[in-house]
């Protein structure tokens, strides 16, 4: 079985855009999925990162975003401060529709604001944004 | 003029004479009218015709005074193309545009005949109609969707019809038994090989060598999509060596591919692979593909093989390229 952790993207120097679903990075990197995933990609040119979530991922996404950050040691704090912030535009794409879509969106937005407040995305220069994408049938199915 | 015949007088005549007015003329109607009244009717016809045209002129003057433009304004061809481009997927509207005027017809039919779908061996007969109308060049994409039970479909004899499409840029084939048309394509179909930019193979059957040879035949191929290979181990040895190598610089989409030999073979093609977008959906170990495109890959899309997605796993989102 392949997961995102087993793929080494560090040599992809021209990589500018990554699209991955939330479940795959959360399963591979359960502690700090967003930080660890983006850090694993070479920082030279990466501009955009789209993290897709489907309807049955929403609870997990909400939990991850609302996770209380672990208290850090002084050495860890120092290391993080020394590291330059990544200039990557992160977008959370929600694949939801129907009557409950707006409620889901509002709930994830609240969780995302909380995560930004907790410093979960402190390693980024910009705040992540939330988008809703309509369902599109897979033509190959 | 037709408008004169079917003008107000025609209705008048029909009412007065209690008969249907033949569309081809007034004189025929006069046969049934007593002679003393014919002169009178002709005078009335003439007077009404004058009044009819006067009203038309007046109507036009009023329109001009009020700034109402005529509906058939002649737009430059480039603008019409641009407008029609916005409705390129709306077939009923495109079809309506073909009836509007010659300019709109030219612009609309480019999109109307862009895709060509063949569902069985009879499907290629429609290509003859297009060819007789001189519109075969408008077809840029062919989707050949063989049904599983049609065993003799997609044989070289059937596929030779693809040769008629001289401007084909996208080829999408389901259930292709790759070994069968390979030799024929190699020998006969030079036009097809040089024009196709995008190749989609869904559930192809054949050995890995045959698949790679088939792909390498398309010398201008930029985008490649392969969905779930049905590997045939029996014909593995008798396949000729690759001769050419397509540029492969666009998008690679692999769906449900677990075969390491196929991935390794693709990477080790003559010129190597230089895809700018790599899309791996439910694939097995694919580090070899990532390494092969490491220098050129700008966009990476990944769904793991144990993708759980939705309760209905038949679909996933297709996010526009410039969305995030």
Each residue's pLDDT tens digit, A7-57? 788 888 888 888 888 888 888 888 888 888 888 887 667 888 888 888 778
CA atoms within a 13 Å half-sphere pointing along the CA-CB vector of B295: 6
Mean pLDDT of chain B: 74
**pLDDT value at residue B181:** 67
- Which one of A7, A27, A49 has the shortest CB-CB distance to B290? A7
CB B248 within 8 A of CB B275: yes
CB contact under 8 A, A138 and B306: no
Cβ-Cβ contacts under 8 Å, A29 against chain B: none
Q: A60: distance to nearest CA of chain B, Å?
A: 12
Report phi then psi at B241, rounded to 5: -75, 155
A19 contacts chain B (CB < 8 A): yes
Cβ-Cβ contacts under 8 Å, A20 against chain B: 301-303
A9 contacts chain B (CB < 8 A): yes
**pLDDT value at residue A35:** 86
Please give the distance of CA B185 from its chain centroid, rounded to a whole number: 23
pLDDT digits (tens, 9 = 90+) for B129-165: 788 888 888 888 888 876 655 555 555 566 667 777 8
Instruction: Report the alpha-carbon distance of residue A70 to residue A65 in Å, rounded.
Output: 13
Window 102-141 of A: residues touching B by CB (8 A cutoff) are 131, 133-138, 140-141
ipTM of the complex in this document:
0.83
CB A11 within 8 A of CB B291: yes
- Domain B116-123+140-303 top-level CATH class: alpha beta
Residue B256 has pLDDT above 70, yes or no: yes
pLDDT digits (tens, 9 = 90+) for A59-97: 888 888 888 766 666 776 676 667 778 888 998 888 877
**pLDDT value at residue B223:** 92
Residue B21 has pLDDT above 70, yes or no: no
Token pair in block for residue B63? 């329109």
**pLDDT value at residue B29:** 52
**pLDDT value at residue B266:** 86
Q: What number is the average pLDDT over the span B60-82? A: 76
CB A18 within 8 A of CB A46: yes
Residue B311 has pLDDT above 60, yes or no: no
Q: Where are the domains of chain B?
A: 2-66, 116-123+140-303
pLDDT digits (tens, 9 = 90+) for A92-104: 888 877 777 888 8
Cβ-Cβ contacts under 8 Å, B316 against chain A: 54, 95, 138
Nearest residue of chain B to residue A24 (CA atoms): B304
Cβ-Cβ contacts under 8 Å, A54 against chain B: 309-310, 316-317
Confidence of residue B226 (pLDDT cuts 50, 70, 90): very high
Instruction: Report the alpha-carbon distance of residue B44 to residue B4 in Å, rounded.
Output: 13
Nearest residue of chain B to residue A51 (CA atoms): B324
SS3 state at B109: helix
Tokens 């967003």 identify what position? A34
H or E, element range at B213: helix B208-217
Q: What number is the average pLDDT over the span B239-256? A: 77
Cβ-Cβ contacts under 8 Å, B202 against chain A: 140
A120 vs B323: which has the higher pLDDT: A120
CB B90 within 8 A of CB B122: no
Residue B225 has pLDDT above 90, yes or no: yes
CB contact under 8 A, B315 and A3: no
Which among A6, A17, A133 is the top mutation candidate for probing chain B, defined by the most B β-carbons within 10 Å of its own β-carbon?
A: A17
Q: Count other Cβ atoms within 10 Å, centred on residue B214.
A: 22
**pLDDT value at residue B310:** 43
Window 206-235 of B: residues touching A by CB (8 A cutoff) are 227
Cβ-Cβ contacts under 8 Å, A95 against chain B: 310, 316-317
Q: B301: distance to nearest CA of chain A, Å?
A: 5
Nearest residue of chain A to residue B256 (CA atoms): A140
């Amino acid at each position: 079985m392949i997961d995102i952790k087993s793929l080494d993207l560090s040599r992809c120097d021209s990589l500018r855009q990554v699209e991955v679903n939330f479940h795959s990075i959360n399963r591979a990197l359960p502690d700090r999925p967003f930080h660890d995933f983006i850090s694993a990609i070479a920082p030279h040119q990466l501009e955009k990162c789209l993290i897709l979530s489907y309807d049955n991922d929403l609870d997990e996404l909400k939990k991850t975003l609302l996770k209380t950050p672990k208290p850090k040691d002084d050495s860890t704090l120092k290391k993080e401060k020394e590291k330059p912030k990544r200039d990557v535009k992160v977008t959370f794409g929600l694949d939801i529709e129907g009557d409950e879509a707006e409620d889901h969106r509002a709930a994830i937005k609240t969780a995302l604001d909380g995560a930004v407040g907790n410093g979960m995305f402190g390693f980024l220069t910009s705040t992540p944004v939330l988008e809703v994408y309509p369902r599109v049938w897979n033509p190959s199915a | 003029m037709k408008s004169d015949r079917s003008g107000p007088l025609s209705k008048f005549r029909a009412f007065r004479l209690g008969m249907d007015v033949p569309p081809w003329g007034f004189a025929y109607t006069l046969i049934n009218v007593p002679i003393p009244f014919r002169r009178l009717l002709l005078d009335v016809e003439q007077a009404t015709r004058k009044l009819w045209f006067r009203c038309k002129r007046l109507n036009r003057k009023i329109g001009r005074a009020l700034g109402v433009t005529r509906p058939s304004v002649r737009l430059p061809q480039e603008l019409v193309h641009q407008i029609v481009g916005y409705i390129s997927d709306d077939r009923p509207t495109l079809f309506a545009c073909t009836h509007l005027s010659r300019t709109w017809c030219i612009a609309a039919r480019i999109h109307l005949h862009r895709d060509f779908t063949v569902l069985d061996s009879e499907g290629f007969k429609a290509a003859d109609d297009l060819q007789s109308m001189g519109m075969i060049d408008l077809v840029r994409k062919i989707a050949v969707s063989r049904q599983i039970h049609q065993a003799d479909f997609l044989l070289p004899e059937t596929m030779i019809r693809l040769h008629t499409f001289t401007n084909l840029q996208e080829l999408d084939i389901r259930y292709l038994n790759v070994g069968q048309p390979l030799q024929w394509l190699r020998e006969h179909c030079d036009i097809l090989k040089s024009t196709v930019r995008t190749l989609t193979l869904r559930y192809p059957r054949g050995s890995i060598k045959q698949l790679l040879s088939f792909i390498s035949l398309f010398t201008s191929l930029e985008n490649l999509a392969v969905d779930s290979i049905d590997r045939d181990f029996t014909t593995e040895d008798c396949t000729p060596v690759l001769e050419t190598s397509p540029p492969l610089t666009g998008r690679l989409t692999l769906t449900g591919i677990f075969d390491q030999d196929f991935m390794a073979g693709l990477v080790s093609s003559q010129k190597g692979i230089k895809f700018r977008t790599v899309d791996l959906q439910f694939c097995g170990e694919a580090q070899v593909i990532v390494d092969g495109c490491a220098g050129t890959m700008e966009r990476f899309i990944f769904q793991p093989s144990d993708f759980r997605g939705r309760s209905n796993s038949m679909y996933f989102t297709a996010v526009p390229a410039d969305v995030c």
